[in-house]
Amino acid sequence: MRVMIFSHMHPQEDIDGTILCASLHAKNLADNGIKTVLIGGRKQSNPNAMIFEKISSGVLTEYLMDIHTPDIFSRTGLGWRILYTQLDALIHEFSPDILHFHTIMPYGLEFINSLASRRNKRVLTLHNYTPLCANDMCIHTDDGTPCDSIDASQCTRCFPDSAQDVFKNHRRLVLENLEQLDMLTTPGVFAKKLYTSAGVDAGKIRIIRNGTQISSAITNPREEDGVLQLGYIGRNSSIKGLNILLSALLLLPHEIRVEGKIHLSIFGPLDENDSPTFYNALSSEYVQQVFSLLRPLKDNVTLHGSFTNEDLPKLLQKIDCLLIPSIWWEVTPCVIQEAFACKCPVICSNIGGMAEMVTDGVDGLHFEMGNPHDLRDKILALLQDRTHLTKMRNCITPPPTVDCMVKEYIALYHELLNKHIKVA
């Protein structure tokens, strides 16, 4: 079997949950003796290089991809022609049985389907809601709240200058192109429900959980020192809700902060150039808000800056509880699995993929999305009864490993190649 894995960025260029999943997927396939190609984008275009630049070869061959900013919607212009020509040549040379896309960006669904042949099968993993939402994340642009409508006619709320028919036609084309793929997968039940509500055939979507590379043997809890150590891991993006977390800390009784009974460690870059939000018009205002909230919390917050994925186990063992205050649905945040692998409870927003992964009162806590007062109350409850942390830690179920995830993908590939598709 030969497999081509596609990621929107190569892990040496950038990292997020989708990029990490695609990279681990490719490496594990190669570790299992399956000839694999990993293709990922690069941040800076190289005018002197081919669109696809080979950076490693062997059982796992890796390419950096430079798309030269083609028109993603119409698939016209020099960029698309060069991209298609070179990718078609790579596919012909490698002769893959499976083309597995962990993203539709920057290709687009029509482009992915244009690569179809009698021999290869095309799989798309739905790590986000990009195919359904012209705003990418199912977030309203006017107030930043999550969109709970999958009706394309409602898209004019975010794009009032566009006619409803534009979005209805786009949705129709999306559904037609998703139907042409051989199989869709997603790591989350909530994501599958959202896609099926939008009109995708439920039998077309297989749920395959993402796997974590962190060993579940890492279970040493932090030693009790009278301080509730909280952690935030991720970028300073408006949809990630760091401002909500900081606001909740400021709502705590003054004496708790003054006496140092609470501390927050922020792991990840806060600079707006390193962490662009999805709303460029609001990014500067949002970053300013975050830094203004940080000033009165300087004795209760430590900014650790960027980190590598290899650092995660050590980071998670420094905290009592991980906070995920996102204001968008999420799918299945990898950081929750990583926290659970380290026996670290999670407090998260009570929506979407987060609420699906964290069982309220069992292995973590839910708070009302976007409500810093409710988040403050959850933090206070842990301060008043630290035994609850121990109970939640003991209830954490180890997450799937990368090996488990890839075994499911390999089984799916065999089903597709044998044309005996059995969807659970």
- 347 vs 244: CA distance, rounded Å: 13
Mean residue pLDDT across the chain: 87
What number of CA atoms fall less than 13 Å from residue 114's CA on the CB side?
14
Question: What does the pLDDT read at residue 214?
Answer: 87
Span of 46-50, 160-164, 347-351 with lowest mean pLDDT: 46-50
Cα 124 to the chain's mean position, in Å? Answer: 15
Among 106-110, 147-151, 408-412, the range with the most confident prediction by mean pLDDT is 408-412
pLDDT tens for 37-72 read: 999 988 776 665 568 889 998 899 999 988 654 444
To the nearest whole percent, how much of the chain has pLDDT over 70? 89
**pLDDT surpasses 90 at 110:** no
Nearest of 295, 279, 298 to residue 240 by alpha carbon: 279
Is the pLDDT at 206 greater than 60, yes or no?
A: yes
Q: Hey, what are 22's tokens?
A: 């695609």
Residue 345 predicted with pLDDT over 50: yes
DSSP alpha helix (H) spans, 222-263:
242-250, 254-258
Rg of the chain on CA atoms, in Å: 22
Which one has a higher pLDDT value, 66 or 80? 66
pLDDT at 278 over 60: no
pLDDT over 90 (residue 203): yes
Q: Which two tokens stand for residue 19?
A: 């990029």
Give mean pLDDT, residues 148-175.
Answer: 84
Closest CA to 291 of 236, 372, 348, 328: 236
> What is the tens place of the pLDDT at every residue in 317-332?
999 999 999 999 999 9
- For residues 41 and 13, the answer to whether their CB atoms sit within 8 Å is yes
Among residues 134, 87, 82, which one has the least CA distance to residue 112?
87
pLDDT in the model for residue 107: 79
Burial per residue of 316-341, b for 16 or more beta-carbon CB atoms within 10 angstroms, e otherwise: beebbbbbbbbbbbbbbbbbbbbbbb
Q: How many CA atoms lie within 13 A of 106 on its CB side?
A: 21
Q: Which domains does the chain have, with CATH numbers?
A: 2-211+401-418 (3.40.50.2000), 228-395 (3.40.50.2000)
Q: Characterise 421 by phi-psi region: left (phi > 0), alpha (psi -120 to 50), beta (else).
A: beta
Residue 299 has pLDDT above 60, yes or no: yes
Give the residue from 67, 9, 12, 63 showing the smallest Cα distance to 39. 63
List, in sequence order, the alpha helices (H) in 317-401. Answer: 334-341, 352-357, 372-384, 387-395
Is the Cα dihedral 321, 323, 329, 330 positive or negative?
Answer: negative
Strands 52-56 and 60-65: antiparallel
pLDDT band at 161 (very low <50, low <70, confident <90, very high): confident
User: Quick one: pLDDT at residue 210?
Assistant: 96
**At residue 92, what is the residue type?**
H
- Which has the minimum average pLDDT: 26-30, 163-167, 179-183? 163-167
Q: Is residue 78 predicted with pLDDT exceeding 50? A: no
Whether omega before 11 lies within 30 degrees of 0, making that bond cis, reads no
Distance CA 255, CA 68 (A): 55
pLDDT of res. 310: 86
pLDDT at 77: 45
* pLDDT (0 to 100) of residue 148: 74
pLDDT in tens, 406-420: 999 999 999 999 974
Kindly tell me if the per-residue pLDDT of 216 is higher than 70.
Answer: no
Distances from the Cα of 244 to the Cα of 3, 138, 286, 349, 359, angstroms: 42, 19, 11, 10, 21
Task: Give percent above pLDDT 90 in the chain.
Answer: 59
Is pLDDT at 368 greater than 60 in this prediction?
Answer: yes
Residue pair 218/317 in contact (Cβ under 8 Å)? The answer is yes
- State in Å, rounded, how far the first CA of the chain is from the last one: 24
